[in-house]
Amino acid sequence: MSIYRKSGFKKDGNTILQEVASKSQLKEGKDAVRGVLREIYRFGTIGTKSLARKLFLPIPTVAAIRKELEKIGFIERLKKGAILTELGVDFVNLELQINYFQNLLCKECDGTTIELPDDADSIIPKLRDFTDLRPTPQTEIDQAFGKPITALCRALLMLQNDDLEGREVLLLGDDDFTSLAIALLGTLTKITVIDIDKRLLDVISQIAKENNFDIVCIHADLRKPISNKLVGKFDTVLTDPPYTISGLKLFLSRCLQALKPELGRKVYLAYAHRAPNDLLDVQKVIQEHGLVIQQMLPGFNLYEGAEMHGNTTFIAKLLTTDLSKAQIIDEFYEKIYTGEFSPTLRIYKCSKNHEIQIGKNEKIKTIEELKEMGCPVCGSKDKFLRIKREKI
């Protein structure tokens, strides 16, 4: 008789998973609970962040599951992360019938399908030098910086798919510096970057100038119509829009305006992994724009930030069809950023322990502003520590 059954548990595996899923209020369903148990079983001690990244789940989701699994004695927390108890191992083995250990994700490409070229060893450090120059991310406008390897893999994916050479390529937002990764490949590509953040554009322009890269930088807020001279000009667009439905609609609409009105132009879309029902909403928007998915790679993009999303998102290669058309949006001042949908109030402490409230409705709206202004009480700009964060 199994330890699980001996311990008085009478319910079968799926019922237990379902109960944990309900208690954790999971949009992802009971397989997310199973996934957490399976990853811990396969990889031993593992932290919440790593779990979230491997399972393509938001960190709060994983934290909630972990907490419920602790309550019923399936896992315990060590310093290094969560580990299965004897009861947990027994449950995984005998009730869920999981006992395969090997990780089958290709170690060479890590699921990106891309092989790094011979000169990657010289490109990556250069790209890292570039990305080191990025200013602090503005989380208010959903900035989360992609890792240099991700910028490179995106450029290589586009190159492998024949979407770079001799092409007009647009980066619709480029806090990930994909433009510079493309430039480093040395292909004959005309690169244009549009961003709302002038700081980023200044860095990209400066680097382009110093390195003789052919990159045109344009400062624009996509909520306003794009300039006429950019309409119908591009073969390929890459965008990593705000992960909201309105943000997606706005950015895809601008993508379609910018693309040549021809069959088979490409949109590379980076977007957060979503639970099935939410992903359906995303794909409805894609289809409403007459775009079609030709390739979709979960876990392709890795970020230094975006912890909310387990530091990773998918990439999808979309193609225009005869039904593609921009839903022309003249001016758009609805909410598009995630922070606008679920605003938070954050309390920071300065180095002299003064508490400062930051939020949409506060005097100081972002951590970036606070760092620039300094503490309103003592003026100190030293260090700010976040001590609380709550939804308004």
Q: How far apart are CA 285 and CA 278, in angstroms?
A: 11
Q: Which is nearer to a second copy, 114 or 222 (CB)?
A: 114
Q: How far is CA 22 from CA 17, 269, 354, in A?
A: 9, 32, 40
Burial of 19 (0-12, 13-18, 19+ CB in 10 A): middle
Q: With H, G, I as helix, E, B as strand and everything else as coil, classify residue 269.
A: strand
Residues 6 or more apart whose Cβ sits within 8 Å of residue 174 = 193, 194, 195, 200, 204
Among 63, 83, 124, 185, which residue interacts with a second copy (rule: CB under 8 A)? Answer: 185
> Residue 117, interface with a second copy (CB under 8 A)?
yes
Is 261 one of the binding residues for a second copy (CB under 8 A)? no
320, 367, 368, 384: which one binds a second copy (CB under 8 A): 320
Complex with a second copy: residue 281 or 334, whichever CB lies closer:
281
Determine, following the binding rule CB under 8 A, whether residue 353 of this chain makes contact with a second copy. no
Could you give the CA distance from residue 341 to residue 337 in angstroms, rounded to a whole number? 7
Locate 259 and state its tokens. 């693309």
Residue 112 makes contact with a second copy by CB under 8 A:
yes
Q: Which residue of 44, 60, 261, 276 would you call a contact of a second copy, by CB under 8 A?
A: 276
Site for a second copy in 209-248 (CB under 8 A): none
Binding of a second copy by 34 (CB under 8 A): yes
Count of residues in contact with a second copy, rule CB under 8 A:
63
Q: Which of 290, 305, 343, 374 binds a second copy (CB under 8 A)?
A: 290
Pairing of strands 168-172, 236-239: parallel
Q: Do residues 49 and 59 touch, judged by C-beta distance below 8 A?
A: yes
The answer to whether 153 and 114 are in contact (CB under 8 A) is yes
Q: Which is nearer to a second copy, 294 or 353 (CB)?
A: 294
Does position 114 interact with a second copy (CB under 8 A)? The reply is yes
Q: Select 134 or 249, whichever has its Cβ closest to a second copy.
A: 249
Distance CA 67, CA 46 (A): 14
CB contact at 8 A, 176 and 304: no
How far apart are CB 10 and a second copy at their closest, in Å?
18
Specify the stretch interacting with a second copy by CB under 8 A; choose among 1-9, 81-89, 155-163, 251-259.
Answer: 155-163
- Distance, in Å, from the CA atom of 6 to the CA atom of 94, rounded to the nearest integer, reads 13
User: For residues 182 and 158, what is the distance between their CA atoms, to the nearest angstrom?
Assistant: 9
**373 binding a second copy? (CB under 8 A):** no
Binding segment for a second copy (CB under 8 A), chosen from 66-74, 221-229, 279-287, 336-344, is 279-287
Q: What mask, x for binding a second copy by CB under 8 A, covers residues 49 to 78?
A: ------------------------------
Residue 40 interacts with a second copy (CB under 8 A): yes or no: no
Q: Is the CB of 103 or the CB of 136 nearer to a second copy?
A: 103
The Cα 308–Cα 298 span in angstroms is 16
Is residue 24 near a second copy by the rule CB under 8 A?
no
DSSP state of 94: I
Query: What Å distances lie between residue 205 and 29, 62, 184, CA to CA?
Result: 46, 40, 14
- The contact set with a second copy (CB under 8 A) reads 13, 28-31, 34-35, 38, 95-100, 102-109, 111-115, 117-118, 156-157, 159-160, 162, 165-166, 185, 187-188, 262-264, 276-277, 279-280, 283-284, 287, 290, 292-298, 316, 319-323
